[in-house]
Amino acid sequence: MSVTMNSLLMYRHYQVEAPKEAPRCGVQPEIVHTIVNSRYHLIYVWFYNKNEFWFFPISDDGIYLDGFRWNQRSWVKAKFRIDSVKSYY
């Protein structure tokens, strides 16, 4: 599924900035395979490679999750493999 104008509009009006603080890993983490149900919801993602960030998913194809990540200043386009996610909140 590709990015649509509607999803970009939803993203732009959803959240101006990500929260300043990140949740602790392990605090009510969601089962990773349910991450595909998180489209259009702000989530915090922890990866097996120790990366972590706020993410706003807008589409998935069952293998990749596509959306926008917060880089401490702005939202930037991002795409990653679902199986690289350790946990999310």
Torsion angle (degrees, nearest 10) of CA 49, 56, 58, 11: -150
The total of structural domains in the chain comes to 1
pLDDT for position 7: 53
> What percent of the chain has a predicted confidence (pLDDT) above 90?
42
The predicted model gives 62-83 an average pLDDT of 93
Does residue 53 have a pLDDT over 90?
yes
DSSP 3-state percent helix, strand, coil across the chain (nearest 5): 20, 35, 40
What is the spatial distance between Cα 59 and Cα 2, in angstroms, rounded to a whole number? 7
Better pLDDT: 30 or 4: 30
Domain that holds residue 26: 5-88
**Model's pTM, two decimal places?**
0.76
4 pLDDT tier (thresholds 50, 70, 90) = very low
